[in-house]
Structure formats: C-alpha cells, structure tokens
Amino acid sequence: MSSWRTANAFLSSGRRTFQNLQQHHPHYHTAAATKIVGIGLLVVASSVIVPTVGIAAVHGAGFLPAGIAANSCGAIYQSYVCGGATTGLVSTLQSFGATAAYPAGVKIVSATVAAAGGFGLIRRKQSK
C-alpha cells in the first residue's frame, strides 16, 4: 500500500505544480510543456515496463529459473545449434532467466498508469 500512496502523492504533487504554473503564468502553459511532461512520464514508466517485458521474453523462450524448459526455443537452439558445447548466448540467457525477478505488481500498474497518462498528454489537443 505504501507504494500506492507514494505514487499517488507524486502524481498529485505534479498535478498541483502544473496547475499552479498554469494559473500564475498562463503564457508558460503551452503545448510544448504538456508534451514534455508526457514524455517524462513515458520515460519513467519505461524504466519498469521495458525490463518486465524483457524478463517475460527470456522466460517465454524457455530460459527459466529451474533451467531450460524442454521443447522450448532455448532447448531447440541449444540442441541443434550448440550441441554439447553451449555458446555464451545460451549461458547468458540462462543466467538471466534464472536470476531475473519481476518488479512488484504495484510498480507495474503504476508504470502502466504513468505511460497511459504520458500518451494522453502527448496526444492532447490544446484549447485556445
């Protein structure tokens, strides 16, 4: 729950700051500023989303914490291409797959919300 409160406080603080800037300095509130905030949200969100997708891809290829899954892409590659002598690629992917941990669910949800907000701000049409 603490992560939810921290994320909510961070977003609320950013919203208040943005509204304060808009109220006291309306000439600074431009489409460019809105897009910059949106890009910032996307960058922050990608720091959680990209590694999560990478871990899922490596696990999906068969490089799991318990070893290389039978009949997976990883097993087929090791069997047909490498034979008995594995290459650095197989060893690296297996090491990563065995030790990589998914971020907490709250972080994934927060990052997804931040990414959606970022896309929304980037695509937002400015009223004149």
Local confidence pLDDT in tens for the 128 residues of the chain:
466 666 667 667 767 777 776 677 666 656 667 777 788 888 888 888 888 888 889 999 999 888 888 888 888 888 877 766 666 888 888 888 888 887 777 778 888 888 888 887 777 765 55
pTM over 0.85: no
How far apart CA 52 and CA 20 sit, in angstroms, is: 35
pLDDT the model gives residue 91: 83
Residue at 8 is within a domain: yes
Residue at 62 is within a domain: yes
- Indicate the burial class of 109 (C-beta count within 10 angstroms; 0-12, 13-18, 19 or more): middle
Residue at 44 is within a domain: yes
Residue at 128 is within a domain: no
- The residue segments making up the domain with residue 118 are 2-123
